Every structure is written in structure tokens, then in C-alpha cells.
Amino acid sequence: MISVFGGRFDDDEIKEVSDCIRSHWIGMGKRVEQFEQEFSATQGLSNFLMVDSGSNALYLAIKLLNLPPGSEIILPSFTWVSCAQAVLLNNCTPIFCDVDINTCNTTAEHIQKHITPKTAAIMVVHYAGLPVDMQPILSLGYPVIEDAAHAVDSFIGDKLCGSLGKVGIYSFDAVKNIAVGEGGGITFTDDTLLQQAKKLRYCGIEKSGFQNAQNKNTGRWWEYNISEPFIKMLPTDLSAAMGIAQLKKFKANQQRRKQIWDYYHTAFKNREEIQIPIDAVNHNTHSYFTYLIQAPKRDELAKYLYDKGIYTTLRYHPLHLNAIYNCHYKLANSEILNEKALNIPLHPNLSDTDVEYVANSIIVFFKTNK
Ligand SMILES: Cc1ncc(COP(=O)(O)O)c(C=O)c1O
């Protein structure tokens, strides 16, 4: 089966992870620090911390905003469930807004429709790695959380997506552009938030075991202060070792993603049934995390491809349609995407033959299913 998402792993990962195991330090340690420094340097970030997942990074991001209970946070419905769960777990209320039907990103116009006196923050998602039009959203005057889970290597001018709002998050899960298994990151415009986040990610403790071990000269080095209650979301040196290896091939992987994206664009551009996704424009760049087409007969197409050994999916089932969130409103574009959109395979582990096979199978489906 050709998978829809995936990563490329080889001797680099085997070496870095083996070295980590041989060092007998697999928890959080110097490899996490190295990954934090190298990721920041590659992407031009000044305040960045690794955590154990993008989902937990979202939870931490909202916690850091220190919003009163019951505050409303406006976020797109067309996103991953962690976005809304992080809001609820911080005792705030998720208010879902729609996205633009072409970019799949939310806009200031969609957000504005949901502003109330209880609105306290806005969350945006750079879908697939296409940068959100941030300036009009920042101008609304609320703290902005950027979900840049898809948007490592997506830039708005020279600024990495995730670094324009108050706080931004990244995901390094098993299928992201930098894949470590499970992992995430968080970035801030404000230094004081970095110090607070460092404490919070380790149960609210001010010093980590790694720092203690390096600092044996200070009296009772095993004691610590607990500044506030919080969960543990430490990354490990094992996952950082994966990340260090992934960074070595990051440029090559990104180029491969773009090649595949361009191949699909050329193959589909004259097929009127297939609406192709939008690329970044002007001085912005795209991370090419996923390729989302919109087409009629989507369910039949997905089944046809599955039978031909091609796995596709839809990211995301709109959140406002999930009973748990108890929403009684329509979000027209998100609902259209729910019926017409399909993520097709895009990742650096696909061969040219795979990509041609995927594109041709889609074209043949529409030729025979007019
Ligand atoms: C838009 C978005 N936000 C957040 C996350 C959560 O990231 P993680 O899987 O690292 O917890 C994901 C994961 O797929 C995502 O797609």
C-alpha cells in the first residue's frame, strides 16, 4: 500500500539513536539541547523549546496565556482535535470559525464573525504549510496562538510560521516534515514565556534532573522548587537523536516534497474535475506537508484508490461536526471540504513510480467516471 503520509529514515537515524543508547542517557539531556539549538538555527528562531508532542505544546501554549476560566478562543473547525481539546483542558471555550475554501486557512473575516466580549485569544492553523494571512488577524488585537504543526519551513517573508503571534507550536510526530516518532516544539516572542515554559514542561519544577547532574557542587543538588501544578511533557534524547538526524536530510526532504507537489500540479492542472491546492505567493514559502485535492465523487475516488493500493485520507473531519463540542451552527466551507477534499500521498519516501502511479490512477478514475 502506498501511504499518504510518511518519513524517510536511514543510517543517519540508526547512528544517532544507537549513539544515544550507547551513551546510557535516553531521557532529556544534551541531545534535546542540541536539537533545540540546531532547529532554531535552521529555522531562524530565538526562543524555542522541544516538548513531547505538538498536542501538549498546544496545551502549554494556552496555559502560558493565563486566560480567565470561561474565556473564548476562536479557532478553525478544519483542524486536528488537539487544538480544541487544549482549549477545553485549559478551562476555556472553543469557538469554531470557518476557513477559506481555496487556502483551507482561516481569515480575519471568518474570525471576526465570532468575536464576543468573552473572546480572549485566536488560534490559527497554517494548513498543509501554506502560511495564513497573519497581518489582518494580528491587527484584531488579540493574543494569537499559531499552530504551525504543518509549517516547519513555511516562512512569511523571513519569519518562520509560528513566530509571528504570541506563541507558536510545531509537531515532530511520525509523519511530519521532521519526524521523530512523537515530539513537538513551542516558540515565543517573549523571553519570559520561555523561562516559564521550561519550568512547566517538567511538572512545574524549576530544575531538570539533567541540570542537577551537571551541577553537583551546589549543596543539596537533589532538591528543587515547584512553582505551580502542571503535567510532565519532557522530550527525550532518543527522540532528539531522531530529530538531529532528520535535520541533516531536511533540505533534501523538502526538495523532494516540492518535486512531488510540482508533479501533481502539472498532472492535474488541466483536469477540470480536480481542484488543486494553492501554493505560497509573494515572499512566502510553503512546507508541502500534504497535498489536498478537492473533487466530486470523493468517496468513490478514495475507495477506487484504496483498491489500487493507494491510501488516502481527509485531514480533517471538521470539529464543529463532533457531538462532544455541542455546536449548532453551520460552517459552510468546512462542510464542503468534508465532502470534497482528499489528502493524496506526499512524502519524501515516495519513488517517482509511486507518484506517477498515484497521479495516473486519479486521472483514469475521472476519465472513466464522468
Ligand atoms: C494541525 C495540527 N495541530 C496539532 C497537531 C498535534 O501534533 P502531535 O501529533 O505532535 O501531537 C497535529 C498533528 O497531526 C496537527 O495536524
pLDDT tens across 322-370, in order?
999 999 999 999 999 999 999 999 999 999 999 999 999 999 999 998 7
Q: Is the CB of 184 under 6 A from ligand 1?
A: yes
What mean pLDDT do residues 46-53 have? 97
pTM for this prediction: 0.97
Q: What confidence score (pLDDT) does residue 191 get? A: 86
Burial class (CB in 10 A: 0-12, 13-18, 19+), 86: buried
Q: Is 55 in the pocket of ligand 1 (CB under 6 A)?
A: yes
Ligand 1 contacts CB of residue 82 (under 6 A): yes
Rounded percentage of the chain residues whose pLDDT exceeds 90: 92
pLDDT exceeds 70 at position 164: yes
Tell me: the pLDDT tens digits for 25-39? 999 999 999 999 999
Q: Whose CA is nearest to atom 8 of ligand 1?
A: 54
Q: Is the CB of 80 under 6 A from ligand 1?
A: yes
Read off the pLDDT of each residue in 46-65 and give the average, rounded to a whole number: 98
Beta carbons within 10 angstroms of residue 14's beta carbon: 11
Cα 54 to ligand 1 centroid, rounded to whole Å: 5
What is the rounded distance in angstroms from the CA atom of residue 47 to the CA atom of residue 101?
A: 33
The residue assigned the cell 466551507 is 333
- Provide the pLDDT for residue 25: 97
What would the mean pLDDT of 247-275 be, rounded to a whole number?
Answer: 97
What is the chain's mean pLDDT, rounded? 96
Q: What percent of the chain has pLDDT over 70?
A: 97
Q: Is 343 in the pocket of ligand 1 (CB under 6 A)?
A: no
57 Cβ contact list (under 8 Å, min separation 6) = 51, 169, 170, 171, 184, 185, 186, 233
Residue 253: all three cell numbers together: 526532504
pLDDT of residue 197: 96
Contacts of 308 (CB under 8 A, 6+ apart): 357, 361
- Average pLDDT of the residues in 54-65: 98
| Residue 77, ligand 1, Cβ within 6 A | no
Q: For a ligand 1 pocket test, name from 53, 55, 289, 334 the mutation site with the most ligand atoms within 8 angstroms of its C-beta.
A: 55
- The whole-number average pLDDT for the span 180-202 is 94
**From the CA of 173, how far away is ligand 1's center (Å)?**
8
Q: Are 5 and 347 in contact (CB under 8 A)?
A: yes
Give the pLDDT confidence of 201-254 residue by residue, as tens digits.
Answer: 999 997 766 666 666 666 777 888 888 899 999 999 999 999 999 999 999 999
Q: Whose alpha carbon is nearest atom 10 of ligand 1?
A: 54
> Measuring CA to CA, which residue among 336, 317, 341, 324 is closest to residue 78?
317
More confident call, 226 vs 316: 316
Q: Is the CB of 170 under 6 A from ligand 1?
A: no
- Ligand 1 pocket residue status of 235, Cβ below 6 Å: no
Residue 173 Cβ contacting ligand 1 at under 6 Å: yes
What does the pLDDT average to over 16-20? 98
Rounded Cα gap, residues 75 and 81, in angstroms? 11
Length of the chain: 370
Mean pLDDT, residues 142-162: 98
| Whether 295 contacts 273, CB under 8 Å | yes
pLDDT at 214: 66
What is the 184 CA–ligand 1 centroid distance (Å)? 9
Position 123 confidence tier, pLDDT thresholds 50, 70, 90: very high
What is the model's pLDDT at position 224?
83
Please tell me the distance from the alpha carbon of residue 260 to that of residue 347, in angstroms, as a whole number. Answer: 8
Give the residue-averaged pLDDT of 260-266. Answer: 98
Mean pLDDT of the 188-205 span: 92
Angle between helices 30-43 and 237-248 (to 10 degrees): 30
54 lines ligand 1 (CB under 6 A): yes
Q: Is 164 helix (H, G, I), strand (E, B) or coil?
A: coil
Give 50's strand partners.
Answer: 185
Look at 16-20, 21-25, 92-96, 191-195 and tell me which has the smallest mean pLDDT. Answer: 191-195
Q: What is the reported pLDDT for 370?
A: 75
